Amino acid sequence: MKVAFGTDERTPITDRVKEIVLGMGHELEVTAEDVDWPDVGRSVGEAVAGGGADRGIVCCWTGTGVSIAANKVPGVRAALCTDAETADGARRWNDANVLALSLRLLAPSLADEIVSAFLVGTVDADEADVISKVD
């Protein structure tokens, strides 16, 4: 799977997120780093919506800004997740294709859990009709 990644600030946490993606055997494309959060959300969102990446991960201090910016791109369903169960549910019930993370709240062990849950999560086929209502 190809994962687009962007952050408005490079930190040890963002480096860890990239390591997790690569460690799971996925391809990583950094589309935005050390740029304003609207540019991060748009860049990753466009990579996912345009088919250049299967999923995306965006980061900023709260995670809210990049989530809002990514969701402005048609075809993107970005979810701000603070735990693995929410990340799994975002994939399962909402077919989220971009994961938004808060640099303020994220510890390395939590990053492992959230990113892993998001990348291995699959969509519940029974939710297809519900999900199609937001497209």
Just give the CATH number of 2-132. Answer: 3.40.1400.10
Q: Where are the domains of the chain?
A: 2-132
Residue 135 has pLDDT above 70, yes or no: no
* Whole-structure pTM value: 0.95
Active-site residue identified among 40, 49, 53, 60: 60
Asked if 54 and 2 count as a contact pair (C-beta separation under 8 A), the reply is yes
59 in catalytic set:
no
What is the per-residue pLDDT for 130? Answer: 75
N- to C-terminal Cα distance for the chain? 23
- pLDDT tens digit string along 15-54? 999 999 999 999 999 999 999 999 999 999 999 999 999 9
Q: What is the largest CA-CA distance in the chain?
A: 40
